[in-house]
């Protein structure tokens, strides 16, 4: 049996409560003005998106350029469900989350099965096309309200709910990557021939990482719709997918804490530095290119390796 009550888990639980208490204080004592309060939910939603995308891009090592597409599919599925059903909110809302996630996951399976069988950068191309196709379909469909957007969604979420869902997402994904299946996923990124020869079912594990990520992107989409009250296809364009990718790259591939921090920073930065938002996409491009050059630089890779092995050794000794 694995021990649940360890020192580490208690620390994590305390941290989670402390952060929430701080937010609660800031909101209720009116320390934050309305504008900043309205940013709390988007920050949490982006945390969910970045952490889940890291599973595909960082841990599995496959480039996914259509995370925004999965988000939008989930958002529309979940929000349409709340519009067309009449259930008590306590049942309807969790159901909507699950439906949004499940529909996104189904699309993940549909495009993952053909794309992940191939080696190479096919997934990047397929997901890129997928995101654009989803957007244009949503723009042209009647039920989704077309380009004008889907209106009349009950605003049934708040920062507390988003916070809880984000914590659950982080817990599930961090446990997944530490599990046996998670080791399988990381081994594929590292050396696909070796992992195959050790009995890792490569296609299954690729699909697992990809579909779990799509599921959480779908849930994030539902939260997004329920927070804004309106969905527009253009909110989930290529730029959104790139924005999430920048969070993952900036926070560090395969580093969940990094993704959380980067998601918070990148969501808040344009709001704090007014005028920056005009140059946002330019800044993202620069960040991506710099990180790529850095990562490809052997000297930087060495520094990184040293830091990692130092960290590992420290953790190893602590055990």
Partner 1 sequence: MAMLTVENLEVYYGVIKALKGISFEVREGEVIALIGANGAGKTTILHTVTGLLPAKSGSISFCGEELTKTPAHKIVSMGMAHVPEGRRIFQELTVLDNLKLGAFTRRDKEEINESLEKVYQRFERLKERKSQIAGTLSGGEQQMLALGRALMSRPKIILMDEPSMGLSPLYVSEIFHIIQEISQAGTTVLLVEQNAKKALSIADRAYVLETGKIVLSGDAKELMKDDSVKKAYLGEG
The footprint of partner 1 (CB under 8 A) covers: 180, 183-184, 186-187, 189-191, 193-202, 305, 308-309, 312-313, 315-316
Residue 189 CB, nearest approach to partner 1 (Å): 8
Q: Which is nearer to partner 1, 6 or 277 (CB)?
A: 6
Q: Considering beta carbons, is residue 58 or 74 the nearer one to partner 1?
A: 58
CB of 180 to partner 1, least distance (A): 7
Q: How far apart are CA 34 and CA 67, in angstroms?
A: 29
End-to-end CA distance of the chain: 17
109 versus 301: smaller Cβ distance to partner 1: 301
Q: Among the residues of 198-297, which ranges form H helices?
A: 202-228, 238-251, 256-272, 280-296
Cα four-point dihedral sign 65, 271, 285, 132: positive
d(CA 319, CA 315): 6
Q: Which is nearer to partner 1, 87 or 307 (CB)?
A: 307
Q: At its nearest, how many Å lie between partner 1 and the CB of residue 308?
A: 6
For residues 300-319, b (16+ Cβ closer than 10 Å) or e, as one string?
eeeeeeeeeeeeeeeeeeee
Closest separation in Å from C-beta 311 to partner 1: 9
Residue closer to partner 1 by CB (options 23, 186) is 186
**DSSP label at 113?**
H
- The CB-of-133 to partner 1 minimum distance in angstroms stands at 32
The smaller minimum CB distance to partner 1, of residues 1 and 29, is found at 1
To partner 1, the closest distance from the beta carbon of 223 in angstroms equals 33
Helix ranges (DSSP H) in 118-191: 122-140, 159-178, 180-190
Helix axes 67-84, 40-54, angle to 10 degrees: 130
| CA angle 68–119–263, rounded 5-degree value | 30
């Amino acid at each position: 049996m694995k021990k649940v009550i360890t020192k580490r888990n208690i620390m994590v639980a305390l941290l989670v409560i402390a952060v929430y208490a701080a937010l609660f204080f800031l909101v209720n004592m009116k320390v934050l003005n309305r504008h900043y309060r309205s940013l709390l939910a988007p920050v949490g939603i982006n945390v969910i998106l970045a952490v889940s995308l890291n599973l595909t891009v960082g841990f599995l090592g496959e480039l996914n350029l259509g995370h925004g597409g999965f988000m939008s599919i989930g958002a529309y599925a979940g929000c349409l469900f709340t519009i067309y059903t009449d259930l008590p909110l306590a049942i309807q809302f969790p159901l909507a989350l699950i439906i949004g996630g499940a529909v996104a996951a189904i699309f993940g399976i549909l495009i993952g099965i053909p794309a992940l069988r191939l080696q190479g950068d096919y997934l990047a191309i397929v997901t890129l096309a997928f995101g654009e196709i989803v957007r244009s379909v949503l723009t042209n469909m009647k039920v989704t309200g077309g380009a004008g957007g889907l209106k009349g969604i009950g605003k049934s979420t708040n920062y507390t709910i988003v916070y809880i869902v984000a914590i659950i997402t982080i817990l599930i994904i961090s446990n997944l990557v530490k599990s046996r299946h998670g080791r399988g996923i990381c081994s594929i990124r590292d050396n696909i021939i070796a992992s195959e020869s050790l009995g890792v079912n490569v296609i299954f594990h690729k699909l697992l990482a990809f579909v779990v990520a799509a599921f959480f992107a779908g849930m994030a989409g539902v939260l997004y719709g329920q927070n804004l009250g309106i969905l527009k296809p253009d909110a989930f364009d290529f730029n959104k997918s790139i924005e999430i990718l920048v969070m993952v790259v900036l926070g560090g591939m395969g580093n969940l804490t990094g993704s959380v921090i980067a998601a918070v920073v990148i969501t808040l930065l344009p709001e704090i530095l007014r005028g920056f938002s005009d140059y946002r996409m330019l800044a993202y491009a620069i960040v991506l290119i710099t990180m790529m050059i850095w990562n490809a630089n052997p000297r930087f890779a060495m520094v990184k390796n040293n830091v990692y092995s130092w960290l590992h050794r420290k953790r190893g000794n602590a055990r």
